[in-house]
Structure 1
Amino acid sequence: MRRMLYMFLGSFLLFTSCKKEEQKLTIATAANMQFAMDSLVKNFELKTGIPCQTVIGSSGKLTAQITAGAPYDIFVAANMKYPNALFEKGLTANKPKIYAHGKLVLWTLDANIKPSIDILNSQEINHIALANPDTAPYGTAAMEVLSFYKLNETLKNKLVFGESIAQTNSFIHSQSAEIGFTSLSTIKAPKLVNKGAWIEIDTKFYKPIEQGIVLLKKHNKDAQQFYDFLFTEEARQILTHFGYE
C-alpha cells in the first residue's frame, strides 16, 4: 500500500508539473526583441501571474518552425512579412498588427574604431557583421543601406552573416567582426549599454522596419492578455526605452 501511495504521489506531482508547464505562454520572439521582451514578460507576469517562456530566433526561422507545427502561442516578429505569410496560410487566429518600428545602428566594440559608413571600406575593417537578409529583417535593412551607398559589391568579401541579430551581436561583441549592423534595442540592453561606440542609421536609407505580432491558431487561452498588454501604455514605455518607435 505504501509503495502504491508513493507511485500515486509521484504520478500526481508529475501530472501537476506537466499541467503547469502546459499553462505557460510560449512566445516566439524575433532576436532583436530579446532584451525588450525580457522586460515586457517580467512586467506582464507581475501584473497577471501568468507564466511565460520565450523562444528566440530569426523571424524567418521561427516562421518555418510555426509552419511545421511548433506549439507556440504568439509570434512577435521583426517585420510584417512573416506574420502575414502565416495569416495567408490560415495559421493565425487574427490578422497581424504592427506593435513597433525598429531602428538600425552600426556598432563596434573596438576602441580604435569610430563607426561610420565611410570606415567600412577602409583597411581597418576586415569583417562586417549583419544578420542573414534571407531570414532576418534587420539583415535586409542593412543590405538596403549598403545598396544605397553602392557598397554591396565592394564589401561583399567582408560581410559575415549571423543566423539572427543575436548571433550577429555575438560576432560584434567578441570582436570576431570589427563592426556590424544591429538593432538599436541591442545597445539599449542593460548589460550592453555604454559598451563600444555606435551610430544610428538614418531611416531614409532603408525601408521602415514594421514589427508585427499575431496570435497563432492554436493558442493558450491567456495569450490574448499578452497580446493586449503589448499595446498598453506600460508596454509602449518599455519599447520606447529600448529604442523602438
Structure 2
Amino acid sequence: MSFIYANITQLADSFRPRFRAGAIALFFAIVSSVGFSSASVASDAPAIAAAANIKFAVDEIAIRFQQQTGLALRISYGSSGNFVTQIQHGAPFEMMLSADEGYIDKLHQAGFTQGEGVIYAIGRLALAAPKDSPLILDADLVGLAQLIDDGKLSRFAIANPDHAPYGVSAREVLQAKGLWDALQATLILGENAAQATQFTISGSTQGGIVPLSLVLTPEFAKRGNYVVIPDALFQPLYQRMALMPNASETAERFYQYMQSADAQQVLTQFGFNLPKSVVKQAN
C-alpha cells in the first residue's frame, strides 16, 4: 500500500508520562490501523493534510481511489489548526481536508487555496468510555453530571479547543449542559481528535467526548462503549476541503473523488452526515 501516515511520532510523543506503555501501543494500533508500507511512494504522490477525525474513513476512501486509479497519495493526519499554521509557513500540501470550514475559509482569505472549497461531510460527536468505566453513558449527559456530583470523575478527555474543531464542539456540548466549569480540573486535552479518542479508552480516563467517526471501528468496540450526542447540542461541524494553488492532477482527481457517491457511502458508514448541497460557490 502506497500511503505515508505522518504526525504519528508527534502524537505519541505528546502523551503524558502517567499514561501507561500499553496505552501508547494501543494508540499506535488505532492511529496506524491501515499500517505502514515498505514499498516506496512515488515521488510525485501529492501530500494531503487531513483532520484526524476522518482518519478511518479517508483510509478506506484512499484505498478505493488507489485501486481504481493506480495513483498514490501521501496523507498526514492531525489537527486542522496545526495544518493551517504549517501551510501558512510553506508546508507543501496540495490539498487539505479540514474538520471545520472556518480553517479553509481562513486559508482562502489569505490566498492559500484555489477557491472556497467544498463541504464534504458534517461531523457528529459521541460520549464514550472504557468498558470498565463508572460513567453511565446517555445522550443527555445525566450520567456524566452524576459522576461529577459524586466526586468520582478524575479525568475526562476532549480534543484541544485551541486548534481542534471537535474540541470546540465538545466544549459547546459541555457548556450547553452546564458542565464545562465543573470539568476544568479533570480535563485531559488531546492534541487532536484521534489522540483524545485514545485517551478516552486507554483506561487513564473515565471517558470523553470524541468524534463519532473514530468510535465506529472494531478496535474501539473491543475496549469501549459510546452513545451518540444529539446534534442540537453543538454548532454544525461542516467539514470543508480545498485544493492548494500547487495542486497536481492527482490531487485534483482525489478532490473530485471525495465528492463521489463511492466516497460519500464510506463517509456515511463512519457516521458522518452529508450536506444537502456540498458545493459553496467560489467568489
TM-score exceeds 0.5: yes
Give the partner amino acid of 1:68: H
1:194 Cα offset (Å): 5.3
1:185 aligns with 2:213: yes
Supply the distance in 1 between the matched residues of 2:247 and 2:49 (Cα, whole angstroms): 12
Shift, 1:26, TM fit: 1.4
1:204 to 229, 232, 237: 232
CA distance in 2, matches of 1:111, 1:175: 8
Following superposition of structure 1 onto structure 2, how do residues 25-174 of structure 1 map, counting pairs within 5 Å? 25-113=46-134, 114-116=136-138, 117-120=141-144, 121=148, 122-174=150-202
Equivalenced residue count is: 228
**Could you tell me the percent identity over the aligned residues?**
32
Secondary structure of the corresponding residue to residue 173 of structure 2: helix
Tell me the CA shift for residue 112 of structure 1: 4.2
**Structure 2 unpaired stretches of 5+:** 1-38, 274-283
CA distance in 1, matches of 2:87, 2:213: 25
Look at both structures and tell me which one has the larger radius of gyration over its CA atoms: 1
SS of 2:113's partner is coil
User: Which shows bigger deviation, 204-213 or 22-31?
Assistant: 22-31
- Alignment partner, residue 13 of structure 1: none
Whether the aligned pair in 1 keeps the contact of 2:131 and 2:223 (CA below 8 Å) is no
Q: Is the 8 A contact 2:174 2:180 kept in 1?
A: yes
Matched residue type, 2:91? A
Deviations 1:12-61 (CA, angstroms, capped at 9, x unpaired):
xxxxx99x633112110000011111101000000111101211110000
User: Is this contact kept in 2: 1:125–1:179, CA < 8 A?
Assistant: no
TM-score w.r.t. length of structure 2: 0.77
Q: Give 2:196's aligned amino acid.
A: T
Aligned residues of 2:129 and 2:200 also touching (Cα < 8 A):
yes
Contact 1:36–1:189 (CA under 8 A) maintained in structure 2: no
* Partner AA of 1:102 in structure 2: G
SS at match of 1:124: coil
Q: Does 1:237 align with 2:265?
A: yes
2:52–2:192 CA contact under 8 A, matched in 1 = yes
SS of the aligned residue for 1:27 comes to strand
Q: List runs of 5+ in structure 1 lacking aligned partners.
A: 1-16
Q: Residue 21 of structure 1 aligns with which residue?
A: 42
Question: Partner letter of residue 49 of structure 2?
Answer: A
Aligned-residue CA RMSD (Å): 1.6
SS at match of 1:142: helix
Partner residue of 1:4? none
Q: Secondary structure at the match of 1:126?
A: coil
Shift, 1:73, TM fit: 1.1
Write the distance in 2 (CA, Å) between the matches of 1:221 and 1:112.
48
3-state secondary structure, aligned to 1:222: helix
**Residues 190 and 71 of structure 1, relative CA distance in 2, 3 Å threshold:** farther
**Alpha-carbon separation, structure 1, partners of 2:127 and 2:259:** 29
CA contact (8 A) 2:133 2:207 kept: no
Asked whether the equivalents of residues 115 and 179 of structure 1 are also in contact (C-alpha less than 8 Å), the reply is no
